[in-house]
Amino acid sequence: MASISRLLFILALSSVLFCAPRASVALTLDAAEKAVSTGHAAEVIPALVAYAPKTQTESLRRLWILGVAYARAGRPQAAVDPLAKLVAKVPANAAFRLALARVLIAAGQDERARYHLEQVKGAGLPAAVQSRVQSQIDRLEKPKNWQGYMRFALIPESNAARRTQAETVNLGGLVFGLTPNARAQAANGVELSFGLAALPMITERTRARFGVDVQARLYDGRAPDDVVLRANAGLLRYDTAGRRFSSEFFATQRWLDNAIYTRSQGIGLSYSLPLGNRTRVTFGAQHERISYRQSAYDVRRTAANAQLSYAASTQLVLRAGARLESRSSDYTLAAGVAKGVSIGGDYTFVGGLRMGVDLSYDHNAYDGIHPLFGTQRTDRKSTATVQFTNQSWNYRGFAPVLKIGVERQNSSIVLNSYRNVAASLGITRSF
């Protein structure tokens, strides 16, 4: 009897969806939604896929019902596409983002899920819901035994080597011309980045971390190739209510044009905690010893920084930061103090396009008197960066990224003043 009733229900629903073109659209979608809610999600999916909405409202409702139907039919991977399109069309709707995050988690796409959960913090949800969102974010982090990323990008730059644009220098009243190779020139290159870390569990809330990162910027001969290798070992502590603490020992080696430029070893600490439902603050500290191999001198560097992020809405995240750095060395031209501030934010437009804007200013003062120019070196550097991504453009976890940056440094030593405009067009993936 139950089977007959179910068959009659399916036949009745099919007649509504296919045999009554003059019936109201609202009734058709109502019938589809009722089928999903009463346990007939799998049966109604083909009709929803074939359904052609006539208005924007119908289109949004169809995407929602289709995504929910796929999810309830046990097909989370298929549910990602309609729900992602829905979020792209209505990025301010927290319910849509939460539904998308759930199917992304079920489909094993944790990084994308975490992004949407972080965005939801700006929706002004009730405290109990915000608490569940934060708990979900914490769960996404803690179970991971491995983390990694890879990136490839084309990087044309107007002055990749950060050389001066001055044509002459004045040394004690004598004017000398600079050769073209010592001056700014454009260069084209590629950037290759890769990182992998193992996170074995120590306790329920504590993990060890052993990682390696490689970044290579390879140019066409008009700027030196720059390769950095970094290895680290440390601890990660995931506390309640979204608090996180990390410590690490690290070692780096940097090559410029296939010759070792620097080696360093040090320790880093970081502590992050939420302030209310929308704000997160992160504090960091670092101490390292840097050996400049070709010039045979060492620098001991100690730095501290603070970063604050605020989810103003489901579409807008604001951030601000500050840093302070002290350097000591027997080579006084390398010793000194630096400080800087930064502001920025990310905004997601209707359609899925996400734009990030960051502005920064750094003041760097050196202790020694330059033997040729007879003055202390002071640098003032300003940077502006705009980055574009699209949450709807994703192929097997790879997402395209376009970044454009402008950097300008004014220095009391003319050889250290420069301007550079850089672009980066590539793909990236985190896992």
pLDDT in tens, 193-250: 999 999 999 988 899 999 999 999 999 989 999 999 999 999 999 887 778 999 999 9
CA angle 308, 310, 316 (to 5 degrees): 135
According to the model, what pLDDT value does residue 223 have? Answer: 94
pTM: 0.79
Domain stop point among 117, 141, 165: 141
Q: Which residue has the higher pLDDT, 384 or 55?
A: 384
pLDDT in tens, 119-149: 887 777 777 777 788 778 777 766 678 889 9
pLDDT tops 90 at residue 162: yes
C-alpha span between 61 and 70 (Å, rounded): 14
C-alpha span between 240 and 199 (Å, rounded): 19
Domain stop point among 141, 160, 176: 141
Specify whether 192 is located in the same domain as 47. no
According to the model, what pLDDT value does residue 391 have? Answer: 66
Q: Could you tell me the residue range of the domain that residue 424 belongs to? A: 146-430
Q: How many CB atoms lie within 10 A of CB 181?
A: 9
Sign of the alpha-carbon dihedral angle for 310, 312, 316, 322: negative
Q: What is the CATH number of the domain that holds 60?
A: 1.25.40.10
Q: Classify each residue of 302-324 as buried b or exposed e, where b means 16 or more C-beta atoms within 10 Å of its C-beta.
A: ebebebebbbebbbbbbbebebe
Which of 17-21, 222-226, 276-280 reaches the highest mean pLDDT?
222-226
- pLDDT-derived band at 352, boundaries 50, 70, 90: confident
At 55, which helix (H) or strand (E)?
none
Residue 422 token pair: 């850089």
According to the model, what pLDDT value does residue 372 have? Answer: 84
- Say which range, 4-13, 306-315, 373-382, has the weakest mean pLDDT: 4-13
pLDDT tops 80 at residue 116: yes
Domain stop point among 95, 122, 141: 141
C-alpha span between 192 and 186 (Å, rounded): 20
Q: What is the CATH number of the domain that holds 314?
A: 2.40.160.60
What is the number of domains present in the chain?
A: 2
Q: What share of the chain is helix, strand, coil (3-state, %, to 5)?
A: 30, 45, 25
Specify whether 106 is located in the same domain as 200. no
Q: Write phi, then psi, for 159 (nearest 5 degrees).
A: -155, 65
Specify whether 185 is located in the same domain as 307. yes
Cβ contact 398:405 at 8 Å:
no
